[in-house]
Amino acid sequence: MKILRRRRTKIVATLGPASSNAEMLQQLFQAGADVFRLNFSHGSHEDHGRNIDLIRDLEARTKHPIGILADVQGPKLRVGRFMGGAVVLNNGQTFRLDLNPTPGDSRRANLPHPEIIAAAQIGSHLLLDDGKLKLKVVHVREDHLETVVINGGRLSDRKGVNVPDVVLPIPALTKKDREDMAFALERGVEYIGLSFVQRPEDVLEAKEIIKGRAWVLSKLEKPQALDNLEEIMALSDAVMVARGDLGVELPPEEVPLAQKRIIQSARMMGKPVVVATQMLESMISAPTPTRAEASDVATAVFDGSDAVMLSAETAAGQFPIEAVTIMDRIIARVETDEGWRANTDRRRPEPEKTTSGAMAAAARQVAQTIDASAIAALTNSASTALRVARERPNVPILGLTPNIETARRLAITWGVHAIEAPVTHSMSETVAVATQLARSEGISEVGENIVIVAGMPFGKSGSTNALRVAKVTRTHAPEPEFVADPKS
């Protein structure tokens, strides 16, 4: 089962009750899913472990690296319970939030989070039930907050609380998150999705635990994260525009601008960026998306995201295969548009002022000039492939690595077709392997040129400092046509 995507932007599909069996996984993968997301807000370790086994079995049968994202829940802030299960709050009334665990009524409710009470200030806003209700703090006491209802409505047991304009002194990782991370890392996932990121310290805490065993994918869902965007981005291996909570805590008109800013920052730093939440929401119960949803996916592609994500559409929806299929079609169509290519080229950041950055930029330029069929990036740690992807070349990127972990991690990166390849010890070996795999993977045909970038000495992680052009032949050791490396 040879898999060669006809698009550069990747697709992340969330697994759940609608998609957690071998047959459905294979269909999702064949339809276009490049990475599978395990949502640790739901399901047991047994459930997630079974899905990991199914993914790895699929990977072995297809001989195509597949990435797995373990998305940990993060702190969940909720009100307590109510007598009768729910109350109705009216605009302009006063309402108290306190530490008393007694079930609430129309005048008060339990807020079992002393951190919120301690951090709140007069004028702070609290959003309840995904932003449907809005309260304004008018008095702060040691054990409670007095608020006035700005936007009222029905409030039931255990609904969520968002505090958009306060940095909460709450760790991004709970006890449950640490247990989930330990399980996921033991099972060898590629990315840990880190929720509730507010400060660079949140990312550092996760990296200290992970110790390089997976990439840290920081979910940008708090306004406070945007205040520290560059610092968080620099520490993260990848980021996600988590528009669900971000859309609750930011005014709606600010979310598209935040999305564009995050994507542009990720492009500048060469970090993979995923756009997520409600991309094809109507397909949870309908076989086709709305026109607005199709435009939303297209916008993320035009903006330059590395991947787009499906959540409930594939986890619990009635049409998971159709959702992946239509997302694949939208992406592929956008990427054939002249305006998309022109926009991509116009937004290309300046090359990094390093040897590695210069080589990645040169690879793109040479490939375009000679009409090469691909760029082969030899990489141990993924850095060479990431640098080439940052350039957004107009040809496929063949990510060649001796590490299956690296190949799987690159599944989320724009334009990279990753393959586990043997270690090479010389440029002639590298040329032979790269041209052979370019042909066998269906990327290049005999007689076409490919551009090869690598780091020397071979077999060691380091800077990208060698570039070569080679012709694809029927033999395993073609003669190079152009050389530009340190020993030339």
- Contact between 218 and 240 (Cβ < 8 Å): yes
76, 195, 226 from 119: Cα distances, Å: 16, 20, 19
**169 by DSSP, 3-state: which?**
coil
Q: Tell me which of 5, 56, 78, 348 is the catalytic residue.
A: 78
379 labelled catalytic = no
14 labelled catalytic = no
Q: Tell me which of 7, 10, 37, 364 is the catalytic residue.
A: 37
Q: What is the C-alpha separation between 374 and 372, in angstroms, rounded?
A: 6
290, 332, 339 from 325: Cα distances, Å: 15, 11, 23
- Contact between 164 and 223 (Cβ < 8 Å): yes
Alpha helices by DSSP H, 213-336: 223-227, 229-235, 243-249, 255-269, 291-303, 312-315, 320-334
174 labelled catalytic = no
Q: Tell me which of 9, 277, 344, 413 is the catalytic residue.
A: 277
277 labelled catalytic = yes
Which residues are bridge partners to 469 per DSSP? 451, 482
Alpha helices by DSSP H, 270-412: 291-303, 312-315, 320-334, 338-346, 355-369, 383-390, 404-409
* Cα torsion 283, 286, 287, 290: sign: negative
Q: Tell me which of 7, 10, 219, 243 is the catalytic residue.
A: 219
- Contact between 71 and 195 (Cβ < 8 Å): yes
Residues near 118 by beta carbon (within 8 Å), at least 6 away in sequence: 169
Q: Which of 441, 432, 420 is nearest to 472 (CA)?
A: 432
Q: What is the C-alpha separation between 281 and 277, in angstroms, rounded?
A: 8
Instruction: Tell me the backbone φ, ψ of residue 23, rounded to 5 degrees.
Output: -65, -45
């990296």: which residue's tokens?
A: 207
Residues near 320 by beta carbon (within 8 Å), at least 6 away in sequence: 13, 18, 19, 24, 28, 310, 313, 314
- What are the catalytic residues? 37, 78, 219, 277
